[in-house]
Chains A and B, each alone.
Chain A
């Protein structure tokens, strides 16, 4: 009786080609994408037909939450002279000066606190609480605590997230938001000052369902410090014109 011989086939699958493809994909993703930055509020920007691309460097971004809280983010030169860290320290020094000229309760920051500030992403707590906020970084799990504070999830009613901003504002008594804008312009970084003058240096990022009331407040505050030109961040409208 002849038996049918079943040839034993190896189950080895050659993964080299697969590996090639995945490496290519990986390279593509690494080169084309930018990292999402951590932000205290998630916003969906409105769609627009405008195709102007956002400036990548020398931008002061104003993040507005639907509740009317305001945070700032900065993207600076890659040059050594005005790196993100250096610019931030200069800005903090400048805003401290402006704040102290206006208020009785003087504030000051230690070098360690300044170093922490220079590494922050989006920032925005009242200046009177800034010291306490920055000192959190030295505590265990400090960075998580800082994020929670900014997101308003730390269950401490005293901790305020967002830069103080008000509807009523005048040039003689600027609120903290206006002080920050002024500080950014005066901090000595000519590239940023120029960009802000052109209007490309200040970008408002707000959710599409934010009420006009809040947007108007932010715009009005900017106008008072003579920041009359600015840009609105939008997403590209599908379909377009």
Chain B
């Protein structure tokens, strides 16, 4: 390929013109290209970051108490993210994953009000451990059995149980999408149109006021890592939760966490 054979064109009788072979050596070219490729591989990134959009309420003090949207105790679930700490004489040192060096987070949750209807504190500010309704959970991915069915575990199972009404409708919509009720899924354009229709319907279901759905309050202790927060926000998306908020941790929450740990040992 790199050689060009030059023949003299004539019938070869006139004089003896030599057949010339022009050869271009491409080795330096390949060397240079390899260097360039190496440069591009090291100095560039192909991964585009994904984003997670969140909206928080304003910091302004709400003047009118009536305007505040109060979650009813029946619907509320509070999830608390805390960093796992080393037990023993030096409390406060965080447990670090031995494999990837990440801070290990723990997930706790309680339904309704802290301490149930009677509250966490007895007369004189005594902590009533019997009223502590804090429970521990875990962040786990779905368990997939041999048939390929997904089974939620950990905190996801708890959220899904509370959000059953919405999830059932969403799953019905998903089935309709697969059956082609939102339009054919043959070409890319068709598929996108069908997905748009499906997303519209799904967001209607998520926002439907008549369907019973939980309100999730996400709290995190100062030591817990950012990853824990993103993981929980992910769970909201996975489980089609439309009402959730990130809130400041309160003293009662910290008392409950403390009390829970004391009685675990």
Contact = CB atoms under 8 A, between A and B. Distances in A.
Interface in A186-241: 199-200, 203, 205-216, 219-220, 223-224, 226, 228-237, 239, 241
Contact of A46 (B47, B101, B226): B226
Contact of A206 (B43, B56, B58, B226): B226
A211 B56 CA distance: 19
Interface residues of B, number: 56
B224 A212 contact: yes
A204 B34 CA distance: 37
A16 interface: yes
A216 B101 CA distance: 22
A233 B227 contact: no
Given A15-B30, A35-B43, A223-B56, A46 B230 contact: yes
B2 A16 contact: yes
A25 B37 contact: yes
A200 B52 CA distance: 10
Given A30-B40, A32-B46, A211 B225 contact: yes
Given A29-B40, A33-B44, A211-B225, 16 more contacts: A15-B25, A29-B37, A30-B40, A48-B230, A52-B51, A52-B53, A53-B48, A53-B50, A209-B226, A211-B223, A211-B226, A219-B246, A220-B59, A223-B56, A223-B58, A228-B55
Interface of B: 1-2, 23, 25-27, 29-30, 33-34, 36-37, 40-41, 43-59, 81, 83, 101-103, 141-142, 220-231, 233-234, 237-238, 246, 248
18 contacts: A26-B36, A26-B37, A33-B44, A35-B44, A45-B49, A46-B226, A54-B51, A199-B55, A209-B103, A212-B81, A219-B246, A228-B56, A228-B58, A230-B54, A231-B52, A232-B52, A232-B233, A236-B47
